[in-house]
């Protein structure tokens, strides 16, 4: 059993998958500095994390000696590091199959902010706010559990070499479970199971799409070198378990979220409490900030949906459910594109404005400089300014944007929504 676990967690398995897909390292690639430090999260000297911390954790599974032997082939002098990595990062890998490269790199964006601020709201604007609400709720739950498990278990990501790493921002994070795999599984299958209540479609076709999308995201984490096979498998299984346990209560939670007088308070206080209570690490990691972003979006959206229910205009699908989706005519397609562009514009404007204001307010409160990167990473500043920013985004998305569509003539109130 332990042999299987060690095999699935081995960086050699990830490296073999990368080579099979045409992603190979350059022989002159430099990974390790003379003093044994690597730039772990793509933030310059601020992101240095000591290799011996990861080596100590790798001793337990017996992979240290093999990795040290492999690492010796890639070490360089300090001057070589300055030339190749420090001052001129350059490309340390070669792509021999660009189709797979583009496929997996684009698939990996599911866990990035650009996805949070565009694709999820797009379901709200162009399909059904009910589905978006379900997705955001489940996405927030699985991501929080996954992020906390990472920082409690503290299992390292695959080592480079032999793995080629295509991302640097999150390299200081721990590996197990893969939150990309968790989010992909939760979003794909929550949408599948919830949509069958709302719209008519071929369930078998939807199941194939959900499996393909979640599989692509999972494989992308191996391709980019950010997770082991064990990380990905555990992420999928944990997400599936959370969905299975919570599925019978989705309807009850929907009702309480929309109708309980305590819903707004719980939606704001509980996520903020979870953000402040996030596990502390001995180094800076992006997990706490990313978790705050996710919970902030969920909190703002939840309050917004509650407000819409009070105002009597929810923009949900109306009539006998499930409904037939209207055909995607050229006019309907242009309206969808227009709503997407206007909506994203509002969200980006909200993000930039609230972020600018809230960051300065909290830096002023705590006597820190806005330009001080280390100060912005302090919990008492990072958590509230990010939470305020993304709560505002959730509120604007759920309350304001659809009403702007109506005023601009981008949405027909008589076309299948609840008034």
**Within a domain: 13:** no
**Within a domain: 215:** yes
Q: Which pLDDT band, with edges at 50, 70 and 90, does 27 fall under?
A: low
Token pair of 348, please? 């980006």
Report percent pLDDT > 70 for the chain: 81
What is the Cα–Cα distance from 336 to 150, expressed in whole angstroms?
38
Token pair of 417, please? 């929504």
Q: Using the predicted structure, report yes or no on whether residue 108 has a pLDDT greater than 70.
A: yes
Q: What is the pLDDT of residues 73-89, one digit of tens each?
A: 333 333 333 333 333 34
**Within a domain: 79:** no
In this prediction, residue 171 carries a pLDDT of 67
What is the Cα–Cα distance from 99 to 85, expressed in whole angstroms?
27
**Within a domain: 335:** yes
Average pLDDT over residues 24-52: 43
Token pair of 302, please? 């939840």
Which range of residues forms the domain containing residue 129?
A: 100-408
Tokens 């594109």 locate to 337
Token pair of 241, please? 């378990």
Please report which helix (H) or strand (E) contains residue 149, including its range: helix 129-153
In this prediction, residue 113 carries a pLDDT of 67
Nearest to 191 by CA among 140, 120, 96: 120
- Rounded to two decimals, what is the model's pTM? 0.79
Q: Which pLDDT band, with edges at 50, 70 and 90, does 293 fall under?
A: very high
- Number of structural domains found in the chain: 1
DSSP helix/strand/coil, 95: strand
Query: Which is more confidently placed, 172 or 347?
Result: 347
Q: Using N-to-C axis directions, what is the helix angle for 129-153 and 250-259, rounded to 10°?
A: 110
Token pair of 304, please? 């917004």
**Within a domain: 104:** yes
Q: Using the predicted structure, report yes or no on whether residue 415 has a pLDDT greater than 60.
A: no
In this prediction, residue 170 carries a pLDDT of 67
β-strand pairing of 48-50 with 37-39 = antiparallel
The answer to whether residues 176 and 238 touch, using CB atoms and an 8 Å cutoff, is no
Instruction: Give residue 369's region: left, alpha or beta (phi > 0; psi -120 to 50).
Output: beta
Average pLDDT over residues 112-123: 77
In this prediction, residue 62 carries a pLDDT of 45
**Within a domain: 327:** yes
**Mean pLDDT lowest for which of 60-69, 98-107, 140-149, 209-218?**
60-69
Q: Using the predicted structure, report yes or no on whether residue 317 has a pLDDT greater than 80.
A: no
**Mean pLDDT lowest for which of 4-18, 33-47, 343-357?**
33-47
In this prediction, residue 374 carries a pLDDT of 86
**Within a domain: 45:** no
Active site residues: 180, 227
* Positive or negative: CA dihedral 191, 196, 199, 204: positive
Please report which helix (H) or strand (E) contains residue 104, including its range: helix 98-107
**Torsion angle defined by CA atoms of residues 197, 200, 203 and 209, in that order, rounded to the nearest 10 degrees:** -100
Token pair of 220, please? 């992308």
**Within a domain: 167:** yes
């Amino acid at each position: 059993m332990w042999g299987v676990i060690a095999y699935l967690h081995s960086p050699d398995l990830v490296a073999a998958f990368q080579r099979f897909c045409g992603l190979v390292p350059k022989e002159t690639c430099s990974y390790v500095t003379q003093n044994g430090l690597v730039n772990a999260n793509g933030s310059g000297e601020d992101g240095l994390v000591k290799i011996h911390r990861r080596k100590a954790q790798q001793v337990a599974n017996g992979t240290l000696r093999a990795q040290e032997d492999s690492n010796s082939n890639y070490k360089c002098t300090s001057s070589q590091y300055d030339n190749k990595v420090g001052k001129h990062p350059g490309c340390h890998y070669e792509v021999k199959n660009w189709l797979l490269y583009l496929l997996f790199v684009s698939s990996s964006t599911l866990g990035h902010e650009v996805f949070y601020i565009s694709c999820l709201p797009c379901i709200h604007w162009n399909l059904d706010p009910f589905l978006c609400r379900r997705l955001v709720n489940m996405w927030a739950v699985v991501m929080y559990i996954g992020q906390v498990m990472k920082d409690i278990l503290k299992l390292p990501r695959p080592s480079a070499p032999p793995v080629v790493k295509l991302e640097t921002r999150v390299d200081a994070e721990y590996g197990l479970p893969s939150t990309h795999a968790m989010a992909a599984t939760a979003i794909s299958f929550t949408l599948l199971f919830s949509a069958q209540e709302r719209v008519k479609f071929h369930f078998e076709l939807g199941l194939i799409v959900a499996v393909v999308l979640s599989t692509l995201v999972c494989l992308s984490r191996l391709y980019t070198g950010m997770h082991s096979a064990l990380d990905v498998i555990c992420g999928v299984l944990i997400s599936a378990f959370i969905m299975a346990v919570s599925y019978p209560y989705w309807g009850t939670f929907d009702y309480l979220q929309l109708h309980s007088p305590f819903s707004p308070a719980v939606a704001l206080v509980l996520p903020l409490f979870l953000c402040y209570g996030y596990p502390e690490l001995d180094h800076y990691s992006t997990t706490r900030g990313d978790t705050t972003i996710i919970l902030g979006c969920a909190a703002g959206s939840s309050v917004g949906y509650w407000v819409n229910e009070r105002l009597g205009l929810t923009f949900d699908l109306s009539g006998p459910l499930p409904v037939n989706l209207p055909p995607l005519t050229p006019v309907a397609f242009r309206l969808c594109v227009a709503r997407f562009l206007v909506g994203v514009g509002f969200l980006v404007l909200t993000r930039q404005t609230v972020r600018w204001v809230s960051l300065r307010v909290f830096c002023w409160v705590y006597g820190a400089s806005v330009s001080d990167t280390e100060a912005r990473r302090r919990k008492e500043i990072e958590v509230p300014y990010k939470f305020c920013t993304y709560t505002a985004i959730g509120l604007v998305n759920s309350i304001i944007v659809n009403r702007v569509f109506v005023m601009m003539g981008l949405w027909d109130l008589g076309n299948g929504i609840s008034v």
